[in-house]
Amino acid sequence: MDPSQPKIGILSAHTEREKKLENKRLIDEITGLGGDAAIVNYRRCAVGVLETGRGLFQYDDDDVPVRVEVDAVIPRVGKFVESGVWVLQLLTSQGVYTTAGPEAVATAKSKMSTHIALDAHGVPTLYGIMPTGTKPRDPTGTFKLLEPDPTRKLIVKTDRGSHGEGVLPPTPRRGAIANAQAYRANNIRYIMQEFAEAPDPEELASDVRIIVVENRIIGAMKRSAKDIGEFRSNISLGGQGEPYEPTPREAELALRACAVLNLDVGGVDIISSSRGSVVNEVNVSPEFGGIEAFTEADVARHIAELAMKHAVRRQPAEIASAPAVLMSGS
């Protein structure tokens, strides 16, 4: 490795890390910008406070801990949130730049924590309520807090999860109670949430995914479910995407959501409700293969530029910028 090349770490625990589309795209873009990209498997690391100082180590195939040295990091943290947070705590303590800090990752990876943070700053989200422990055995009263009308459909979903996993089909209160009790019986933390139904029952369920990089909207798409019976619009579940121009309100919500959570990179999902547009989720390490496929947005390029810009503050270098598809904010 050329010591003058900034080394950008990509935190990923994917089993085929280098082959995963987003990782490969980031590696290609970082390399094209003159950097050196390295996959850091945060599930194979150790964080240490030693006589020699704080250090991050990654185990090789022989269980030998090898020190990790990076100039900037792009977290692609999945389900193993605590492991990713520990690694980010260590790196940020060393002054390493990250597109999302440990606190931001911890908050964004919890759907309820995200809703609390956004609501506290006046960003509208879907209404929801989450038990914090073993209560209630009978969630009827809790559902009444959320929706007095027992015929209105409600969602029960896990606090963590992506790609639509852990989200049970919307059902009136009686079915929602059974779903909540099933999650409780299996010690799974769950959220009871309002269901934003499409105004036309023959209309496909849809939402808007907006990608924000350093307070700029660089791409957006509308995602639609694969058929009428599917209430989730995730691309990974067969949903279809199309280029989309966010309304001023949607753009404002996306930028404010990322600002509240202190994310330099974020994927904001916005859905229509009876109260207008609201934020459904904020993704701290959004998958961008879909939006790159369905739009002209070069998401990987913008993320790579961001990491390189902050990594090379000690080693200045010129970086050719990719044009933003959509420009918002300052």
Query: Which are the contacts of 168, defined by CB distance < 8 A and separation ≥ 6?
Result: 155, 156, 157, 179
CA nearest to 288, candidates 276, 278, 296:
296
State whether residue 260 is helix, strand or coil: helix
- Long-range contacts, 98-102 (Cβ 8 Å, 24+): 98/72, 98/73, 98/74, 99/73, 99/74, 99/75, 99/263, 99/264, 99/265, 99/303, 99/306, 99/307, 100/75, 100/262, 100/263, 100/264, 100/265, 100/266, 100/284, 100/285, 101/262
Extract the tokens encoding 247.
């309304």
d(CA 278, CA 257): 11
Name the pTM for this structure: 0.86
d(CA 300, CA 291): 11
d(CA 77, CA 14): 9
Decide: 97 and 72 in contact? Cβ < 8 Å.
Answer: yes
Which helix (H) or strand (E) covers residue 276, if one does? strand 276-283
pLDDT in single tens digits along all 330 residues of the chain: 566 789 999 999 876 656 688 999 999 999 999 999 999 999 999 999 999 999 999 999 999 999 999 999 999 998 899 999 999 999 999 999 999 999 999 999 999 999 999 999 999 999 999 999 989 999 999 999 999 999 999 999 999 877 667 888 899 999 999 999 999 999 999 999 998 876 555 454 578 999 999 999 999 998 876 554 545 555 554 567 688 999 999 999 999 999 999 999 999 999 988 889 999 999 999 989 889 988 889 999 999 999 999 996 444 334 445 555 544 443
- Cα dihedral across residues 109, 102, 210, 268: positive or negative: positive
- Cα dihedral across residues 61, 67, 69, 74: positive or negative: positive
Please measure the distance between the N-terminal and C-terminal CA atoms of the chain and give it in whole angstroms.
36
d(CA 130, CA 145): 11
pLDDT reported for residue 275? 87
CA nearest to 280, candidates 253, 244, 249:
253
- What are the C-alpha distances in Å from 210 to residues 55, 153, 258, 327? 36, 27, 11, 12
> Chain-centre distance of CA 276, in angstroms?
23
d(CA 31, CA 238): 32
Decide: 289 and 21 in contact? Cβ < 8 Å.
Answer: yes
Extract the tokens encoding 189.
């933390």
